């Protein structure tokens, strides 16, 4: 029996199981289809309320909730898997798994989506929405208060703020209008990419960086020990003209969640062992 045939057989059953009022009669069971909604779900829900997460939630290089996710079931954004779990609510980002979302909604499963959070200011509304759907508004407020307290505690540079560039794989950089630009500014840094003409997420030629170097080069550590050719761009000898360098874990930057405060704190702590004089 093919997966499609099994799914077609499950649809009539799902229509019977998902009836108005059922959600109020059962303990809440919630599934998440995307990494960023995984992180919010783990932060806001009780483990027993989590039916499943995406497989990426267990990836310690990408996920800030990998340890908790290791003890929870996963799904593969499959409507068939979700229907078997008998969930009350499915969380997803609007940009992903659209076919699955449409099918689940068609058979009566409640699916709520959030836009991809690409600015620091977008974190609070996303947390508030997810917390409201879960009936955990108070927990959402506490989570945001902790994030704001961590950001408020970030030390500011004693002298002129360092000029920094976030240099990504294959020479792309983040200018104004991006989450990483917000992170740099929250850490008390000047985003030097703006002075080099970068707005949004754009390629930045190595020659331009070397001709007008920043004080600090920021890169990501996606999978330490497994550096791709695109990532080696940031190791070009010409970039040794930049006096300082910091490498941030990808897991702190991939999603716009309260964990972004940890990335800000790392950047602000320029005395950290992660920063090397070049």
pLDDT confidence tier of residue 89, bands split at 50, 70 and 90: very high
- pTM for this structure? 0.84
Which has the higher per-residue pLDDT, 199 or 222? 199
Q: Which CATH class is domain 11-150?
A: alpha beta
Q: What is the pLDDT of residues 36-53, one digit of tens each?
A: 999 999 999 999 999 999
* Rounded Cα distance, 99 and 118, in Å: 23
Q: What is the pLDDT of residues 144-181, one digit of tens each?
A: 999 999 999 998 878 899 999 999 888 899 999 999 99
Of 70, 94, 77, 85, the closest CA to residue 33 belongs to: 77
Determine the straight-line distance between the first and last CA of the chain, rounded to whole angstroms.
Answer: 61
What are the domain boundaries of the chain? Answer: 11-150, 163-269
Q: Which CATH class is domain 163-269?
A: alpha beta
Within this chain, domains 11-150 and 163-269 share the same CATH topology:
yes
């Amino acid at each position: 029996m093919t997966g499609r045939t099994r799914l077609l057989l499950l649809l009539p059953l799902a229509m019977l199981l998902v009836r108005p009022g059922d959600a109020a009669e059962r303990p809440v069971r919630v599934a998440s289809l995307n990494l960023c909604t995984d992180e919010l779900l783990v932060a806001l829900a009780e483990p027993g309320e989590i039916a499943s997460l995406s497989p990426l939630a267990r990836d310690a290089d990408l996920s800030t909730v990998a340890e908790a996710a290791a003890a929870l079931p996963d799904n593969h954004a499959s409507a068939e898997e979700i229907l078997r779990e008998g969930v009350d609510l499915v969380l997803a980002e609007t940009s992903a798994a659209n076919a699955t979302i449409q099918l689940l909604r068609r058979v009566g499963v409640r699916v709520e989506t959030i836009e991809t959070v690409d600015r620091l200011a977008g974190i609070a509304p996303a947390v508030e929405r997810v917390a409201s759907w879960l009936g955990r508004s108070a927990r959402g407020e506490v989570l945001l208060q902790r994030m704001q307290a961590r950001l408020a505690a970030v030390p500011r540079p004693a002298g002129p703020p360092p000029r920094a560039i976030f240099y990504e794989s294959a020479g792309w950089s983040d200018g104004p209008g991006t989450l990483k630009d917000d992170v740099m500014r929250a850490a008390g840094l000047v985003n030097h990419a703006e002075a080099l003409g970068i707005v949004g997420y754009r390629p930045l030629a190595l020659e331009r960086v070397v001709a007008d170097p920043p004080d600090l080069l920021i890169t990501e550590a996606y999978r330490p020990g497994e550096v791709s050719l695109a990532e080696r761009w940031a190791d070009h000898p010409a970039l040794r003209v930049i006096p300082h360098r910091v490498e941030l874990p990808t897991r702190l930057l991939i999603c716009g969640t309260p964990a972004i405060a940890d990335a800000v704190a790392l950047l602000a702590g320029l005395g950290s062992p992660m920063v090397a004089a070049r």
